[in-house]
């Protein structure tokens, strides 16, 4: 039962609502079915993640883990780490080093449980000609030939986690917001799929699920975060979270780890001893569409 249907039924008839309650108490249903109905009911009426206390967050991920176990018979490990203090995540990309291998795209798909049917990808690697600047309309982000090609360079784009994110501004239900450590995240249970954020994002960082996302059971990443790579549902937005299930444990995002040439640098912008601060202070850096005032925390530089 999805949210909108539930509200329609409740407004149409109290009996329907009573019927849903009675399902949890039914003496005819099996224990598993009753537990599942109870979980669905509680999940349906929980609040926005932003307003939850730590206990409520723990309760909801316990329900989600139990729900997954009831459905598939397998267990997952889900967390809801809060932003760490004195941390602000930032990203730097070395255009000279990128060779277009796309190892980062593969690692991202695997780490973040992205839908295999629609072949969703958060990261795009654009192949551009030398000497012509950044022409994204002419760039090819789905090439299939040996790389790197003579006379070309490669540039990766993904969600830039703006400090002034336009996607947050336009959301009518506040399902997406900017956390204290700079990550822009989505509460998949709160999202109504209106796709305003997709239209508002100037960097094509948002993805929409037209169908129910499916990942083969053997490929599911079971190390999940509520705001990150837990399985999404049909009709909700999703996006890069800088691998929140990794970065909030002190690890690098999967794309940084997978890059064979070290073109990607991730770190804490507030720590003057971090390597990303050295990049920002010693390299000539730029960001895409700076004139829009979105303030992305994703910088590009060259050797």
Partner 1 sequence: MRNRNITYCLLALVIMVFSSCKKEEKYHSITDKINAESKPYHGKLTSEELLEGTNLIKITEGEHTFLIPERKGQLKSYACIECHTQPVTQMYSESGQKAHWDIKLNHANGDAMNCTTCHNGNDMNNLKSLTGTRIDFNSSYKVCAQCHANQFEDWKGGAHGKKVAGWAPPRASMTCVNCHNPHSPGFESRWPAQFNSHIELERKQDLDH
CA-derived radius of gyration, the chain: 21
Q: CA-to-CA distance for 295 and 290, rounded, in angstroms?
A: 7
**Interface residues for partner 1 in 57-116 (CB under 8 A)?**
84-88, 92, 94, 99-103, 105-106, 109
The least distance separating partner 1 from the CB of residue 194, rounded to whole angstroms, comes to 19
Phi-psi region of 156 (alpha: psi -120 to 50; beta: other; left: phi over 0): beta
Q: How many residues bind partner 1 (CB under 8 A)?
A: 63
Q: 184: part of which helix (H) or strand (E)?
A: strand 184-186
For partner 1, which stretch binds (CB under 8 A), given 5-13, 25-33, 61-69, 250-258?
Answer: 250-258
Hey, what are 102's tokens?
A: 């796309």
**Binds partner 1 (CB under 8 A): choice among 126, 248, 254, 255:** 248
Closest separation in Å from C-beta 159 to partner 1 = 15
Query: Of 172-231, which residues contact partner 1 (CB under 8 A)?
Result: none
Taking the alpha carbons at both ends of the chain, their separation in whole angstroms is 54
Asked if residues 275 and 267 have their Cβ atoms less than 8 Å apart, the reply is yes
118, 129, 179, 194: which one binds partner 1 (CB under 8 A):
118
Contacting residues for 163 by C-beta, under 8 A, at least 6 apart: 178, 182, 294, 295, 296, 297
Which one, of 111, 109, 101, lies nearest residue 264 by Cα? 101
Residues 133-152 vs partner 1: string with x where CB under 8 A? --------xxxxxxxx----
- Convert residues 259-288 into a mask of x (bound to partner 1 by CB under 8 A) and - (unbound): xxxx--xxxxxxxxxxxxxxxx-xx-----
Q: Which is nearer to partner 1, 71 or 249 (CB)?
A: 249
Task: Summarize as ranges the residues that interact with partner 1 (CB under 8 A).
Answer: 84-88, 92, 94, 99-103, 105-106, 109, 118-119, 121, 125, 141-148, 163-164, 246-252, 256, 259-262, 265-280, 282-283, 295, 297, 301, 303
């Amino acid at each position: 039962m999805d949210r909108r249907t539930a509200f329609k039924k409740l407004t149409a008839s109290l009996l329907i609502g009573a019927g849903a309650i009675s399902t949890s108490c039914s003496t005819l249903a099996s224990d598993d079915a009753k537990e599942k109905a109870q979980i669905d009911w509680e999940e349906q009426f929980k609040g926005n993640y932003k307003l939850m206390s730590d206990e409520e967050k723990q309760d909801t991920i316990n329900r989600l883990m139990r729900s997954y176990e009831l459905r598939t018979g397998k267990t997952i490990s889900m967390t809801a780490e809060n932003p760490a203090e004195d941390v602000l995540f930032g990203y730097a990309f070395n255009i000279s080093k990128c060779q277009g291998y796309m190892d980062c795209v593969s690692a991202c798909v695997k780490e973040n449980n992205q839908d295999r049917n629609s072949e969703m990808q958060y990261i795009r690697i654009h192949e551009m000609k030398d000497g012509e600047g950044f022409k994204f309309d002419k760039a090819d982000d789905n090439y299939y030939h040996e790389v790197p090609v003579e006379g070309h360079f490669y540039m990766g784009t993904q969600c830039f986690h703006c400090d002034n994110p336009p996607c947050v501004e336009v959301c009518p239900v506040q399902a997406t917001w900017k956390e204290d450590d700079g990550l822009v995240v989505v509460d998949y249970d709160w999202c109504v799929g209106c796709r305003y954020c997709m239209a508002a994002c100037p960097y094509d960082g948002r993805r929409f699920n037209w169908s129910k996302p499916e990942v083969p059971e053997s490929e599911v990443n079971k190390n999940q975060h509520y705001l990150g790579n837990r399985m999404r549902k049909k009709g909700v937005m999703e996006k890069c979270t800088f691998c929140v299930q990794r970065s909030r444990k002190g690890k690098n995002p999967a794309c940084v780890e997978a890059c064979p040439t070290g073109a990607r640098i991730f770190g804490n912008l507030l720590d003057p001893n971090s390597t990303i601060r050295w990049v920002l202070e010693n390299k000539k850096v730029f960001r895409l569409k700076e004139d829009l005032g979105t303030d992305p925390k994703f910088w590009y530089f060259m050797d």
